């Protein structure tokens, strides 16, 4: 085995030189350099154009690449590479993230980049830059226009090879319009977006009135205008922020109450607070429901799509107040969020906290300086061109001599000197003449040059007036701002509310009014308060807690006639009776509540009764009735029955009367022992008899004879009346059997009930209406407390004749077709 030999290391050929450094001083210096770099070159926006360095470099480079709105999109990776290689030597991720934010409509009030592809959402990030495409938005052109006219200073890039603008001209106040956010070292900024039209209006006012105060500016800018809409509740924090640069406000989602189904009410969210996504809201709501913090929510569904935008449906359990549930959602979910304003921005390279007035003043000063420099640049260009035109005109006058001098010269320098000496030209004019082509020295060119000379003099005079007049300069800046507002301004999206009390839900039970700025506690579950359930002639079903809504009067919607009104309570049960003898149990709390309104409700807040009740073919809903009262039922074949309230407790529907073939229920009413029951037939036969003569029966009984009918007759009305009511009337409307419904005017007659004597049950009764020529039957009939009214074809409630006619007399011709007759509910 070979023996290992020990290697000897060579001595180092250098001399160590260790320098002792004070760690405290080194840390302090290095940290200050790092902090300054982060503050000045990364995290804080410039107050003049509202952009951070990376944003400014992206927009400038895209402008240099010609990515205008009228050009095609290019890959985002190409833009990122150009920016990173020429202006921003940092990671491509930081550049792409900044580029993505400028393209997101939910992040900026006025996006600056037109993105094509997946640029992310509030819940998901964007696609990789190799998959997305971009170009400048039209609004970004207003930020980069006139960069070639010496409007701003240019500074070298990181390797001193390319020049880049220190700030953009910014034709609108981008910092206030789009806001900004960033975290620097020892400081941070968070600025809210605003409405372009409002901000420009304030800037124009400040330009015309340099001594304007904050109150004057806030008349134009009342508050932020967030890209996602929503509501801002409480304006005190906004005023503090506008005054000092620091403040906070609450943002809330936009929520409406909708009737999802006949039995289900839901809260529909169409706008969320700024930078809050629907997935985050759904997750927080589910967590709060699981932990029992939230009550009354049965399901939550996200129906958001590209066509209809945000639509978050929160389904409520029956019996819960939507206002109370919404208050819980504000407390335990991101549907209410707080936005803290911290207006830290760079002014002359130094971070400062500015209020609204100061921010506008910095921008106005910058814009005035931009327009002044642009005007001076254009003035210099015009003067230079005029100088050349004047030299050309001199040369054209003696063109032959000019040509002779040039031909006689040995070289260009000699020709230049001789032209200067002979025609008293400047060196610039002489060089320009030497560079001309012969075809430019024609007579026609001379005419054009003289016109151009005159035009240039006028333009120079106008530009000098602007530079020499501060008022004209300010007016020009104001006019240009107005043009931007006219081109890009959009209506306000965010609603401003002084206090929480003014932001109550619409479409739900209204909360009680409280003092301004105070929360009004709302009961979570709907109390078992008295209410009325209403069924209309058009089949609409609803409940109302306002007794004033049942007053008879005012204009009604067409067909909106009450056929049943049951007094009950919000958590009680009532019955619905169909024409085929079925009785169904209904939960009052499931029915939609009408919003409070003055006068008679039109039931537009109701739902069709068929959503609650499944009806067979040919079956109709006749009436609503209480479950705890003795009901009287009348059929088309003249059968009467009083039903004892011994209904089954474990069933939702049952048979309330056994009907014979081809028979059906005409009317259902709660009749007391002292009431009279009334039948009215198509052949104008009228019968009233005491309800006590009909003994109550079980629900399976078939009833007993009520009125005696002929073979071609049938009952058109059945009800109950108070025999001691002096105001009770009988209304009959006659027509002809051959006429289509609503085509024959017919006649109407109103008769006092006392004109009709009581007869025995199972008799034919007495005649109620004498038919006129062409009339052969009753189309409608009704008996009850007067005065009576009818709903006409126009939907307007019309009073019927108040003078009671004779029992066997004829009626008065109607001026309009009467569609339905309903009782006076006053």
What residues are annotated to the active site? 131
* DSSP β-ladder status, 231-233 and 495-497: parallel
- What b/e readout covers 484-523, taking b as 16+ CB neighbours within 10 angstroms? bbeebbeebbbbbbebbbebbbebbbebeeeeeeeeeebe
Tell me the C-alpha distance between 702 and 689, whole Å: 19
Nearest to 206, CA basis, from 360, 351, 326: 360
**Range list of H helices, 424-565:** 427-434, 443-468, 470-488
Structure tokens at 96: 């792409």
Structure tokens at 297: 């929510």
Answer for the pair 591, 259: CB distance below 8 angstroms, yes or no: no
* DSSP β-ladder status, 540-544 and 530-536: antiparallel
CB atoms within 10 A of CB 273: 24
Max distance between CA atoms of the chain, in angstroms, equals 145
| CA–CA–CA angle 600, 604, 608 (5° rounding) | 115
Instruction: Say how many residues make up the chain.
Output: 826
Give the residues across from 320 on adjacent strands. 525
Q: Name the residue with tokens 């009901």.
A: 631
- List all residues 6 or more positions away from 807 whose beta carbon is below 8 Å from its beta carbon: 686, 751, 755, 756, 766, 767, 768
Residue-wise DSSP of 50-91:
---HHHHHHHHHHHHTT--TTS--EEHHHHHHHHHHHT--S-
Question: Considering just the CA atoms, what is the radius of gyration of the chain in Å?
Answer: 43
Nearest to 344, CA basis, from 246, 248, 249, 275: 246
Q: From the centroid of its chain, how far is CA 728? A: 52
Answer for the pair 467, 375: CB distance below 8 angstroms, yes or no: yes
Tell me the C-alpha distance between 510 and 530, whole Å: 16
Answer for the pair 333, 276: CB distance below 8 angstroms, yes or no: no
Tell me the C-alpha distance between 146 and 169, whole Å: 7
Helix (H) or strand (E) holding 327: helix 322-332
Cα-Cα end-to-end distance for the chain:
124
Answer for the pair 335, 269: CB distance below 8 angstroms, yes or no: yes
| 3-state secondary structure (DSSP) of residue 521 | coil
| 3-state secondary structure (DSSP) of residue 624 | strand
| 3-state secondary structure (DSSP) of residue 715 | strand
Is the peptide bond preceding residue 787 cis, with omega within 30 degrees of 0? yes
Tell me the C-alpha distance between 471 and 468, whole Å: 9
* DSSP β-ladder status, 312-316 and 265-271: antiparallel
Beta-sheet strand order (sheet of 653-655): 621-626, 573-578, 582-587, 653-655
């Amino acid at each position: 085995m070979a023996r290992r030999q020990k290697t000897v290391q060579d001595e180092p050929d250098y001399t160590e030189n260790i320098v002792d450094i004070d760690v405290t001083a080194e840390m302090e210096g290095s940290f200050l350099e790092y902090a300054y770099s982060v503050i000045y070159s990364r995290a804080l926006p410039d107050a003049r154009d509202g952009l951070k360095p990376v944003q400014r470099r992206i927009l400038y480079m895209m402008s240099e690449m010609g990515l205008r709105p009228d050009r095609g999109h290019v890959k985002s990776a190409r833009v990122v590479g150009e920016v990173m290689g020429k202006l921003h030597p940092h990671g491509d991720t930081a550049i792409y993230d900044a580029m993505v934010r400028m393209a997101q409509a939910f992040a900026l009030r006025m996006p600056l980049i037109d993105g094509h592809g997946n640029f992310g959402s509030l819940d998901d990030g964007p696609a990789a830059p190799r998959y997305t495409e971009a170009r400048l938005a039209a609004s970004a052109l207003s930020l980069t226009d006139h960069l070639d006219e010496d409007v701003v200073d240019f500074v070298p890039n990181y390797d001193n090879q390319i020049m880049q603008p220190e700030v953009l001209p910014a034709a609108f106040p981008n910092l206030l319009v789009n806001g900004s956010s960033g975290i620097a070292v020892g400081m941070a900024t968070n600025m809210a977006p605003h409405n372009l039209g409002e901000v420009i209006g304030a800037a124009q006012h400040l330009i015309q009135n340099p001594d304007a105060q904050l109150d004057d500016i806030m008349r134009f800018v009342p508050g932020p205008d967030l890209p996602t809409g929503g509501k801002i509740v409480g304006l005190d924090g906004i005023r503090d922020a506008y005054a000092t640069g620091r403040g906070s406000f609450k943002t809330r989602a936009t929520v409406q109450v909708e009737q999802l189904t006949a039995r289900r009410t839901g809260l529909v969210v169409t706008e969320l607070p700024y930078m809050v996504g629907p997935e985050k809201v759904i997750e927080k709501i589910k967590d709060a429901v699981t932990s029992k913090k939230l009550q009354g929510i049965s399901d939550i569904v996200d129906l958001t799509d590209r066509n209809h935008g945000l639509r978050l449906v929160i389904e409520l359990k029956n019996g819960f107040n939507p206002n109370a549930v919404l208050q819980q959602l504000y407390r335990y979910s991101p549907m209410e969020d707080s936005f803290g304003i911290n207006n830290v921005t760079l002014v002359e390279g130094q971070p400062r906290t500015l209020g609204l007035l100061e921010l506008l003043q910095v921008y106005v000063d910058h814009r005035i300086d931009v327009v002044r420099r642009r005007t001076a640049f254009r003035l210099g260009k015009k003067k230079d061109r005029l100088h050349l035109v004047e030299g050309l005109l001199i040369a054209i006058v003696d063109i032959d001599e000019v040509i002779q001098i040039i031909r006689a010269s040995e070289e260009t320098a000699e020709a230049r000197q001789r032209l200067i000496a002979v025609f008293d030209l400047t060196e610039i004019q002489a060089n320009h003449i030497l560079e001309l082509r012969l075809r430019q020295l024609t007579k026609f060119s001379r005419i054009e040059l003289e016109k151009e000379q005159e035009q240039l003099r006028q333009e120079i005079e106008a530009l000098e007036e602007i530079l020499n007049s501060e008022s004209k300069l300010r007016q020009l800046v104001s006019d240009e701002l107005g043009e931007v507002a006219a081109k890009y301004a959009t209506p306000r999206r965010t609603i401003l509310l002084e206090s929480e009390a003014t932001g109550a839900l619409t479409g739900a039970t209204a909360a009680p009014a409280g003092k301004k700025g105070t929360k009004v506690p709302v009961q979570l579950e709907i109390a078992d308060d008295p209410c009325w359930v209403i069924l209309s002639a058009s089949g609409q079903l609803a409940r109302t807690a306002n007794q004033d809504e049942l007053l008879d009067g005012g204009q009604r919607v067409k067909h909106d006639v009450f056929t049943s009104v049951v007094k009950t309570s919000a958590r009680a049960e009532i019955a619905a009776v169909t024409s085929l003898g079925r009785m169904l149990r209904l939960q009052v709390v499931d029915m939609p509540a009408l919003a409070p309104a003055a006068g008679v409700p039109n039931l537009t807040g109701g739902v069709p009764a068929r959503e609650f009740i499944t009806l067979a073919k040919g079956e109709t809903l006749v009436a609503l009735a209480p479950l705890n009262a003795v009901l009287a039922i009348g059929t088309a074949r003249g059968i009467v029955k009083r039903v004892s309230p011994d209904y089954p407790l474990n069933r939702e529907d049952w048979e309330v009367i056994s009907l014979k073939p081809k028979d059906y229920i005409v009317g259902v009413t709660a009749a007391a022992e002292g009431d009279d029951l009334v039948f009215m037939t198509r052949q104008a036969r009228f019968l009233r008899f005491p309800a006590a003569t009909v003994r109550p029966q079980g629900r399976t009984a078939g009833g007993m004879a009520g009125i005696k009918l002929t073979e071609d007759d049938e009952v058109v009305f059945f009800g109950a009346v108070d025999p001691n009511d002096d105001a009770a009337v009988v209304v009959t409307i006659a027509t002809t059997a051959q006429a289509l419904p609503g085509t024959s005017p017919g006649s109407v007659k109103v008769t006092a009930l006392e004109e009709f004597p009581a007869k025995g049950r199972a008799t034919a009764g007495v005649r109620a209406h004498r038919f006129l020529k062409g009339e052969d039957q009753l189309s409608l009939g009704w008996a009850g407390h007067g005065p009576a009214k009818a709903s006409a074809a126009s939907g307007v409630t019309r009073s019927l004749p108040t003078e009671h006619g004779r029992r066997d007399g004829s009626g008065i011709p109607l001026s309009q077709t009467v569609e339905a007759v309903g009782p006076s509910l006053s």
